[in-house]
Amino acid sequence: MLLVSIQTSGLAQTFMSNKTLLVVALIIGVIAALFVFNQPSYELSGTDGSIQGQPDSIPQYSYTDILNNDEFKLGMQQAVENNDVELAKELQQKALEIAHAANLPESEINLLSGENGLRFMGFLASRQLFVEKFQQHYLSFKDIEQLKLDYPEAYDLFERSDKLIELRDDQIQQLAEALAGESGDVDLHIHEAKEQWKTRLNSIE
C-alpha cells in the first residue's frame, strides 16, 4: 500500500490515500493514451527504400500503424518544432510508400496524401508534443499557459489538464499543511511538500 505519512510533533499523519495517487497516475496515462496506436514491427525504410522487419507479404494493418512508428513520430515532431516543411514532406512520402506497399484502402491513402495529409500529420504531432511537454511541466510544477498557445491543436485536452494540475496543487497544499502542523507556516513547507509528492508519485509509476 502506498501512503504518504508525515511525522508532525512525533505523530504520523496520512495526507494522501493510495486511491488519490493512483487517480493522478491514471489521468496522466489517459491523456497520453489518446495518441497511442497499435505499434507495428517495422522501420520506415531501409537503405533501398524498402520496409524492414516484415516478410514480402505484409499483413493488413491501418494507416494508424504507420503514424505510430517511433521513427515517424519523432521525425514529424521535430519537423513541427523546427517548422521544417521539407522534413515533414520527406516523412509523408515515406509513409505513403509504406501505405501503397501494404495495399491500404484508397480512403486511408488519401488521408495521408497532399496538403491535407501533411496538415493531418502535423496536427497529430502537435498534439503529441503537447502531451509530452505537459507531462514534463506537470511534474516540474511549471505553468502550461504557453503550451496552450504553442499547441492549440490539443485544445480538447486543456480542461482535463487544468483539472489535473488543480488536483496536484490541492494534494501539495494538504501535505504542506500537515508538515506545518500547529505552527501554521504552510508556505515554508511548500517546497518540501512538492518533493515528497513527486517521490510518492514516482513510486507508483
Does the pTM exceed 0.75? Answer: no
Q: What letters, b where the CB count within 10 A reaches 16 and e where it falls short, cover 12-29?
A: ebebbeeeebeebeebbe
Lowest mean per-residue pLDDT among 46-55, 70-79, 134-143: 46-55
Distance of CA 180 to the CA centre of its chain: 34
User: Confidence band (pLDDT; 50, 70, 90) for 11?
Assistant: very low
Centre a 10 Å sphere on the Cβ of residue 138 and count the other Cβ atoms it contains: 19
d(CA 56, CA 96): 17
Mean pLDDT of the chain: 78
Q: Which of 82, 81, 83, 79 is nearest to 95 (CA)?
A: 79
Could you read off the pLDDT of 22-70 as tens digits, one per residue? 555 555 555 555 444 333 333 344 434 334 444 444 446 799 999 999 9
Spatial CB neighbours of 131, under 8 Å, sequence gap ≥ 6 = 31, 32, 34, 35, 154, 157
Distance of CA 115 to the CA centre of its chain: 26
- List the end-to-end C-alpha distance of the chain, in Å, as a whole number: 14
Answer for the pair 170, 184: CB distance below 8 angstroms, yes or no.
Answer: no
d(CA 8, CA 11): 5
